[in-house]
Structure formats: C-alpha cells, structure tokens
C-alpha cells in the first residue's frame, strides 16, 4: 500500500509534468509563429541563423510575460541564446535594484577616512 510520502511525490511529479507539457505546447505555438514572422537574425547582436543553428535562436517576450502572445507578434523578438540570457539578467538586476539609497532613507553615515589626516600627521 502506498504511503502518504509516495502519494505526495507522485502527485508532485504529475503537476510538474503537466506544467512542463503546457509550457512546451505554448512555446511551440509562439515559437513557430515567430520564426515564420521574423527574419532569423538576433535582434540585439544581429547574428544570422539558418536551419543548422536555428535552435540557438529564442523567442523573447518583451514584457517578460510568457502568456502574452498576441497573434501579431508585437510582444516577441528573436534573440540568440546569449543575448536572451543577458536580457533576462538585466531584467532581474533592475528588478532587485529599483530603489536608490536616497529614496529609501538609507544613507552612509560612516566615513572610513575621516581621521586619515590626523593619523598621517602622527606618523611623520
């Protein structure tokens, strides 16, 4: 008889499998459309692709919402793997660094070189 732990793992595995299938189906649909709609050129570095390496060309969602797939392709751009990774890294970096120290009220109060002149005078 299966234990609760086994049932939970089986259920979790099924959820993950369903999510991956759904993502693959959505991806397949918009990827095929984007590859028919746009020239096979990276929108950032202008690298050209052909049938031998088109697998390295990705569809980037400009608004970062993978469920926003308008039929006219206005939310898509083709990017090579490297530019696509860079775009997402920049997006994540901007997302986590949205405030400045001035805006958040956190300003530096420690000045490590405040006594430097007096310390140097003592050494002479």
Q: Is the pLDDT of residue 79 over 90?
A: yes
Torsion of CA 91, 96, 100, 106, to 10 degrees: -170
Give percent of the chain with pLDDT exceeding 90: 39
CB 54 within 8 A of CB 38: no
Q: Which residue has the higher pLDDT, 124 or 53?
A: 53
pTM of the model: 0.56
pLDDT, tens digit, 9 for 90 and up, residues 3-44: 555 568 888 888 989 888 877 776 668 888 999 999 999 999
Question: Cα(44)–Cα(96) distance, rounded to whole angstroms?
Answer: 23
Looking at residue 6, its pLDDT comes to 57
pLDDT, tens digit, 9 for 90 and up, residues 38-54: 999 999 999 999 999 99
> Which residue, among 62, 72, 74, 61, has the nearest Cα to 27 in the 3D structure?
61
């Amino acid at each position: 008889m299966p234990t609760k732990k086994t049932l939970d793992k089986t259920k979790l595995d099924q959820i993950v499998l369903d999510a991956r299938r759904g993502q693959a189906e959505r991806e397949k649909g918009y990827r095929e459309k984007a590859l028919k709609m746009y020239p096979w050129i990276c929108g950032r570095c202008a690298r050209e692709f052909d049938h031998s390496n088109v697998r390295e060309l990705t569809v980037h969602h400009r608004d970062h919402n993978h469920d926003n797939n308008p039929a006219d392709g206005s939310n898509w751009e083709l990017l090579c793997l490297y530019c696509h990774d860079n775009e997402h890294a920049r997006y994540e970096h901007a997302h986590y660094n949205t405030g400045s120290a001035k805006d958040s009220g956190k300003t530096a109060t420690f000045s490590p070189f405040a006594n430097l002149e007096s310390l140097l005078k003592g050494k002479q």
